[in-house]
Structure 1
Amino acid sequence: MRYRFYLLGIGFLLAACNNGDNTKSSKASDSLAIREKYAVSPVLDAKTAISHMEVEKGLEVQLVAAEPLVTVPVAMTFDEKGRMWVVEMTGYMPDTVGTGEDVPNGKIVILEDTDHDGVADKREVFLDSLVLPRAISLVENGILIAEPPKLWFVEINNDKPGKRTLVDDKYTEGGNVEHQPNGLLRAMDNWIYNAKSDKRYRKVGGKWLKEETHFRGQWGITQDNYGRLFYNNNSENVLGDYFPAGLGAHNQQQKNVSGYDEKIVPDTRVYPSRATTGVNRGYMKNVLDDSLRLRNMTAACGPLVYRGGLLGKPYDNNIFVAEPSGNLIKRNLVKDSGYIVKGKQAYAGHEFLASTDERFRPVSLYDGPDGAMYIVDMYRGIIQHKTYLTPYLKSEIRSRQLTNPLNCGRIYRVVPAGQKPVPVLIENEPNKLLALLDHPNGWVRDKAQQMIIDHHYTSLAPALKERLQRKDSLNGQIHALWTLEGLGALQLADVMVLLHQSNPYAQVQGLAALPAVLTPANGAEVLKELAAMEKNVFLAPYVALLLPAFPPQLQKEVDMLQTQLMERYANDPYVADAIISRMAGKETALLQQLTAWNADSTLVLHKHLKTVLKDIENRKKASVNESLQKTYPRGTVLFKTVCQTCHGADGDGIQSLAPPLNQSEVVTGDKHRLASIVLFGLTGPVTVAGKQYKAPEISGDMPGIGSNDEFSDKDIAEVLSFIRGAWSNHASKVTEKDIQDVRKQYKGRQKSFTMEELK
């Protein structure tokens, strides 16, 4: 009854504020009725929960595992036996203040379907006592495990953990649970890629390699049949790469490289099946529609390029995205136009899968060995991390008792209605693995490739080379190519087989594999091939991206080819950025060469070069010295855990996420205005250094941290003083009293500011 009177109070307040506007009064009344309808959020058993889901006609959702067999799952992978290795993040947000979040209660468990009825019935704990584990990947005789801040490789001995090897002691640096690297995707090119990260990893012999790559995404990462990577962030539908993942990241001064981190599906509209008032900013205008349903993505994650084959041809290569705040899974259709990939939502007005159960929290999606689409459901009330939890959402959580229970979790699969598909069990026999490289299920092809490499089946090299010659299936050719690369058996003659095909997608795979076979002895021959290819508009960006891979002995010849590319494609952003990527440390010389050839400052290459040179100059001035960190130790820590993950360690912002802090008038201007933004948040466009940043270029909202009890006013003053003095900023410090004054001025405020208000 107390809740009912509370709702009635809201209704009367809204009516009073409407000043006699009958339309607004009606909307308030409608909102009240909707809130009453969803006033409770009961915990449903897994089978009942399925009855609350609506999935695309002709398909059905089947239960694979539920509590107590699995609890709080966030990621998983399959082994060749069809077993699920699942990450359980048990410590995530036990309550609204994150009590006990650092308790080592996370686990890696193995789930198995022993009676082959499609439902897991056996649970075995592989590893426990982990703090917030977040990603895994099976490699050779072991498993990679991401447990911030470290990345471990743990050998597997009869399903028991063996020797541990520390692969990276700085897998995550800074950030909170929502903003730390994850994914560990074993991609087509045999490297392991991550979301929310610019690192990739690979095991060669007994050594782990780590390389810099493009920064990508936030939670979850996936690949298509060509090995192109796709990802997103919480307010973006689908982002991705047009070009091979391992190219184009050679110049650390170059923040953005065209063709990487591109918006594939810019439409972020969502269509929940129920009122979704329990979102962090549900109190803000236009976050919810008139039916109190989420309008746009706010927790998009776990993207999947569906390659399973089971659901039917219309679903092949569709990109699915989980949205746990909206209790739904979105379907997107994508297609190529040349090398550019663009897409659109599959439906207007409804979703591929949506539930009326508020606790349905899909966070990761996977292809399975049976061809089905697998859904990892945390099944819980709280999914927003404490760092950004608003008072509004805390109230929502209290009113519907969303904190408990904490011991639920489900894994589902989507299959054609009435079917009970069985997994492909992969036998560890070389010739059978070879045959599976042509299987219609992309997961099976990937696993076969990985097993051939993991077991070092070099005896298959002749058969793989023979498979390369057959043009009946491009998928099989591609896997044969990269299997050879993974075995260390790939030769230039093999790559030439693909380069000389008429299919441009085959040629692209050959180009992507060239760095693995380039030597001083064969480089001149390869350059002749590329010089002929660069005249092809489709292939030119790939040629330009490959230039840094050539050995130093051929730099003169590479320079000549680069000049041809520059003079032919100076207005092509993809070629231009590829050239700049090669010229790290030589940007001024490149600008001089360009100007001598053509002084037109409107050329894309000229404009992009000037941007990079400006960034270089800014960074020279932008050293965060040790004395600043000593002066503001707590501010330094908060910057790394709260600010850096979106605004970048150099304060220059991150594409698709947030604008710069360095040389920002918002940061260096009125300190009370800055404090207001950090305490209460900012929504809508913001102008920094003459450039307006707004959605969808970046996330349209910055959450406030003023309601987070973890941060004292002194802490917040320190982090603001830190960013106002860091890099090229030289503004005055912020005091604890400044923060207190702003709190008093806006006492009772919940909603974020707009820049217009703060003027």
Structure 2
Amino acid sequence: MRNINLMHCGWGIVLSLGMMSCQQKGQQEDKKVTDSLLMRQQIGPSPVLDAKTALQQMQVEKGMEVQLVAAEPQVMTPVAMTFDEKGRMWVVEMHGYMPDTVGTGEDIPSGKIVILEDTNGDGIPDNRKVFLDSLVLPRAICLIENGLLVAEPPKLWFVENNQDTPGKRTLVDDKYTEGGNVEHQPNGLLRGLDNWIYNAKSDKRYRKQGTKWLKEQTHFRGQWGITQDNYGRLFYNNNSENLLGDFFSPGLGSEHPQQRNVAGYDENIVPDNKVYPIRTNTGVNRGYMKGILDDSLRLANFTAACGPLVYRGHLLGEGYEGNAFVAEPSANLIKRNILTDSGYIVTGHQAYKGHEFLASKDERFRPVSLYDGPDGALYILDMYRGIIQHKTYLTPYLKAEIKARDLSDPLNCGRIYRVVPQGKTVTPVHINTQPDSLFALLDHPNGWIRDKAQQLIIDRHLVQLEPALHQRLLQTDKPLGLIHALWTLEGLQCLQYKEVAPLLRQGNPYIKAQVLTVLPGILHRGNIAAAIADLNAAVPNVFLAPYIAYMLPAVKKLDKVAAGKLEEQLIKTYANDKYVADGVINNAADQETALLKQITDWNPDTTLVIRQRLERVIKDIANRKKARMDDALTKEFPRGNLIFKTVCQTCHGADGDGIQSLAPPLNQSNWVNGDKNKLAAIVLYGLTGPVMVNGKVYKSPEINGDMPGIGNNDEFSDADIAQVISFIRNAWSNKASKVTEADIVKVRQQYKGRQKSFTAEELK
């Protein structure tokens, strides 16, 4: 699983590292590795614990209590979950994930979607029902209308629900996952506040409209798990970064397909990546490397951050509301972060220094996904297993660790826990689905309840609530309920500009931001003049200016002249504001040169932020035009093409230009086009630490700090590795000599017995 990994493909084949020049230094390093392995052998076994015993191994924040909700055989290998209006849990079970260190049987259709129900009202599910089975590595679900979305790579299905039995299947997307491996494929299927369904490790969003499914381009986000706050802003992460997220609403800022790294999206919210386990963590992929473990053999920083949750459940108390919790299965813990709004900018810091919100001494405690519950509790999915690293990147060190301490078993376990205030008894929540009751729930203190009420009103098309919803827009003293009413009307297609215009003139900036976000879907020729007047009046508001910039594409479709004047006003007012600048550039798809001329005619200053950011976009576009993939190349190197798509593309991008927060570019990289032996060495053994690519230094946390090699993966022969290197060295704008199987054999012989990744410094 992509974010469930302990160390993933952080830098990729791009950054080639070559040959060590000092044999003596290599021998010293080998001795250190040997000493380290001997030290770890003294740790002893890691016993399999029953669920109640495992619970006793946990330490949780004072005042909180961890309760067991479900355990095997009631639930096994859970990776994703959602609740329905009856309070039942719909759980995705990924039974096929890593049965052993070589992934034997991963393609067997053993995955399931199960329903766990509490029939006696004691807060603990006592009934298990299999809704779907015979799935291959399922990874996400989403309840909507009369069925559910099910992600089973590479496809996304909508399956109708006929009284808890599967009905008609509709193929929503036959390329939901393109390329990638189990650790690096889309997931999440989060129903956002704006009524679209968003994903992690993906740049697609989905929406059901009548009998049709819409699919649109959005920002690329995260790795495993995705969550939203009370204003619908999305948060996510990758395995080595605590928390990433968006400053603005998710549907904005993606109008320009060639614009990369839009300011305000994929921002590093909590840059502190330290973790504080309460047990040794030698069973991690790079546990032999300096800095991965501290002196007590405990993990020092995130290597498997996943399943983030912005807590909105209310039950834990006011100090926890809006906190971001992050799972770290490799360190057997859950971290708590405190988030703060400063204008539209969101920042965060760890809640504690030196300890965690929840940590376990049980090595097999593998929290992978976190959720708000209908009862307000914080729910935890625990895969409960020894192996959590996928075979694609499994190092010989971790293979040995797994064998020495019998970490391959068990394969049939799994637990669901919840965190509640100490001594708190929670009761099942069944939502009253009568229209008036659902309307009242839009103001509930539990964000999960508010979300579900909005979704049920839309799914059941309760248009009879339209008058009450319109009336609710007048009550600005309770902004959260108003925001849900706004988006419920949008989902029912009953929203009009005359009803939202007054909200642009009230005092709450968060309400104003939601109105601006909803505008593109309700503008038409009959209201565009009034909207333009309101937008122009709001330009001086620094908080709203980026949102107004993101309105430009919608305005331009209806009144190009007015949009031009609004754009000019934004440029002259905010030329050095990167958030507004990127919003303006987002409106300039295929018109970048004209926009640059407009800016330089007004002000020739080359240091203007908007000019510098626009020139970067223009340069990126020019590079991509040169970087067309040659069909003949994929035919010449079929295995290389396949390996690139499954191993490299997920971090470095299909265009080879890298992905923000993940990896640097391969296209036009000095490392890729340089010494083939150095590139072979990095592909075989991996890369760690900072590296300079074409004059820019890439390092953690800007990108992942480690790229595992694939030289120890039995799936790939030396001929395969030669092909993927040759493929990359001749893809896009690259033009370098081919690599042969003999070249790979030679590099292997030179570094025989090596486990440690290279560093760029070594290769100098």
Q: 1:412 aligns with which of 417, 428, 452?
A: 417
Q: 2:145 aligns with which of 140, 149, 155?
A: 140
Cα deviation for residue 424 of structure 1 reads 2.4
Cα deviation for residue 552 of structure 1 reads 2.4
Contact 2:536 2:566 in 1 (8 A): yes
**What are the Cα deviations for residues 165-224 of structure 1, in whole angstroms up to 9, with x where unaligned?**
000000000000110000000010000000000000000111100000000000000000
How many angstroms apart in 2 are the aligned matches of 1:497 and 1:134? 43
- Pairwise mapping of residues 551-630 of structure 1 onto structure 2 (< 5 A)? 552-630=557-635
How many angstroms apart in 1 are the aligned matches of 2:295 and 2:694? 37
Alignment match, 1:351? 356
**What are the Cα deviations for residues 47-68 of structure 1, in whole angstroms up to 9, with x where unaligned?**
1101000000011100100000
Q: Secondary structure of the equivalent of 2:671?
A: helix
Cα deviation for residue 472 of structure 1 reads 2.9
Alignment match, 2:713? 708
Q: 2:171 aligns with which of 161, 166, 174?
A: 166
- Structure 2 CA distance for partners of 1:35 and 1:318, relative to 1, 3 Å: farther
Q: 2:161 aligns with which of 134, 156, 162?
A: 156
- Structure 2 CA distance for partners of 1:589 and 1:272, relative to 1, 3 Å: same
Contact 2:556 2:562 in 1 (8 A): no
How many angstroms apart in 1 are the aligned matches of 2:48 and 2:545? 56
Alignment match, 2:261? 256
How many angstroms apart in 2 are the aligned matches of 1:364 and 1:409? 12
Alignment match, 2:19? none
How many angstroms apart in 2 are the aligned matches of 1:687 and 1:302? 31
Contact 1:468 1:497 in 2 (8 A): no
Which amino acid is the alignment partner of residue 607 of structure 1? Q
Cα deviation for residue 494 of structure 1 reads 2.2
Alignment match, 1:109? 114
Cα deviation for residue 87 of structure 1 reads 0.1
- Pairwise mapping of residues 21-60 of structure 1 onto structure 2 (< 5 A)? 36=42, 38-60=43-65
Alignment match, 1:534? 539
Alignment match, 1:637? 642
Q: Secondary structure of the equivalent of 2:232?
A: coil
Which amino acid is the alignment partner of residue 720 of structure 2? D
Cα deviation for residue 597 of structure 1 reads 0.8
Q: 1:282 aligns with which of 281, 287, 294?
A: 287
How many angstroms apart in 1 are the aligned matches of 2:170 and 2:39? 57
Q: Secondary structure of the equivalent of 1:332?
A: strand
Cα deviation for residue 107 of structure 1 reads 0.3
Contact 1:89 1:134 in 2 (8 A): yes
Which amino acid is the alignment partner of residue 294 of structure 1? L
Structure 2 residue 760 is the aligned partner of structure 1 residue 721: no
Q: Secondary structure of the equivalent of 1:109?
A: strand
Which amino acid is the alignment partner of residue 100 of structure 1? G
Q: Secondary structure of the equivalent of 1:214?
A: strand
Q: 1:198 aligns with which of 200, 203, 214?
A: 203
Cα deviation for residue 32 of structure 1 reads 6.6
The percentage of counterpart residues that share the same residue type is 70
Alignment match, 2:132? 127
How many angstroms apart in 2 are the aligned matches of 1:559 and 1:271? 53
- Pairwise mapping of residues 491-510 of structure 1 onto structure 2 (< 5 A)? 491-510=496-515
**What are the Cα deviations for residues 325-380 of structure 1, in whole angstroms up to 9, with x where unaligned?**
00000000000111100000000000000000000000000000100000000000
Cα deviation for residue 497 of structure 1 reads 3.3
How many angstroms apart in 2 are the aligned matches of 1:204 and 1:511? 22
Alignment match, 1:662? 667
Cα deviation for residue 34 of structure 1 reads 7.1
How many angstroms apart in 1 are the aligned matches of 2:365 and 2:55? 10
How many angstroms apart in 2 are the aligned matches of 1:715 and 1:628? 15
**What are the Cα deviations for residues 519-544 of structure 1, in whole angstroms up to 9, with x where unaligned?**
02211210110111111111111100
Structure 2 residue 479 is the aligned partner of structure 1 residue 474: yes
Which amino acid is the alignment partner of residue 660 of structure 1? P
Q: Secondary structure of the equivalent of 2:81?
A: strand
How many angstroms apart in 2 are the aligned matches of 1:476 and 1:737? 66
How many angstroms apart in 2 are the aligned matches of 1:332 and 1:35? 35
Alignment match, 1:4? none
How many angstroms apart in 2 are the aligned matches of 1:552 and 1:468? 28
Q: 1:219 aligns with which of 224, 229, 237?
A: 224
Cα deviation for residue 405 of structure 1 reads 1.1
- Structure 2 CA distance for partners of 1:17 and 1:749, relative to 1, 3 Å: closer
Q: Secondary structure of the equivalent of 2:183?
A: helix
Contact 1:424 1:444 in 2 (8 A): no
Structure 2 residue 673 is the aligned partner of structure 1 residue 675: no
Contact 1:91 1:132 in 2 (8 A): yes
Alignment match, 1:365? 370
Alignment match, 2:186? 181
How many angstroms apart in 2 are the aligned matches of 1:313 and 1:656? 32
Q: Secondary structure of the equivalent of 1:623?
A: coil
How many angstroms apart in 2 are the aligned matches of 1:168 and 1:73? 24
Contact 2:255 2:587 in 1 (8 A): yes
Q: Secondary structure of the equivalent of 1:667?
A: coil
Which amino acid is the alignment partner of residue 148 of structure 2? I
Bigger mean CA deviation after superposition, 494-503 or 631-640: 494-503
Q: 2:741 aligns with which of 736, 742, 752?
A: 736
Q: TM-score normalized by structure 1?
A: 0.96
Alignment match, 1:246? 251
Which amino acid is the alignment partner of residue 665 of structure 1? N
Which amino acid is the alignment partner of residue 493 of structure 2? G
How many angstroms apart in 2 are the aligned matches of 1:465 and 1:424? 28
Cα deviation for residue 700 of structure 1 reads 1.1
**What are the Cα deviations for residues 538-572 of structure 1, in whole angstroms up to 9, with x where unaligned?**
11111001111225240111011001101111110
Alignment match, 1:208? 213
How many angstroms apart in 2 are the aligned matches of 1:383 and 1:114? 33
- Pairwise mapping of residues 510-549 of structure 1 onto structure 2 (< 5 A)? 510-549=515-554
Structure 1: gaps of 5 or more residues:
1-15
How many aligned positions are there?
739
Contact 2:180 2:649 in 1 (8 A): yes
**What are the Cα deviations for residues 440-493 of structure 1, in whole angstroms up to 9, with x where unaligned?**
110000000000000000000000111111123111001100000000101112
Q: Secondary structure of the equivalent of 1:199?
A: strand
- Structure 2 CA distance for partners of 1:17 and 1:255, relative to 1, 3 Å: closer
Alignment match, 1:433? 438
Cα deviation for residue 498 of structure 1 reads 2.1
Q: 2:690 aligns with which of 685, 697, 716?
A: 685
How many angstroms apart in 1 are the aligned matches of 2:720 and 2:352? 46
Q: 1:375 aligns with which of 359, 372, 380?
A: 380
- Structure 2 CA distance for partners of 1:723 and 1:28, relative to 1, 3 Å: closer
State the structure with bigger RCO (CA 8 A, min sep 6), 1 or 2.
2
Q: Secondary structure of the equivalent of 1:97?
A: coil
**What are the Cα deviations for residues 90-146 of structure 1, in whole angstroms up to 9, with x where unaligned?**
000000000010000000000011112222111000000000000000000000000
Q: Secondary structure of the equivalent of 1:178?
A: coil
Contact 2:246 2:265 in 1 (8 A): yes
Q: Secondary structure of the equivalent of 2:473?
A: helix
Q: TM-score normalized by structure 2?
A: 0.95
Contact 1:230 1:241 in 2 (8 A): yes
Which amino acid is the alignment partner of residue 56 of structure 1? E
Contact 2:123 2:427 in 1 (8 A): yes
Alignment match, 1:3? none
Contact 2:556 2:563 in 1 (8 A): no
Cα deviation for residue 290 of structure 1 reads 0.1
Contact 2:596 2:614 in 1 (8 A): yes
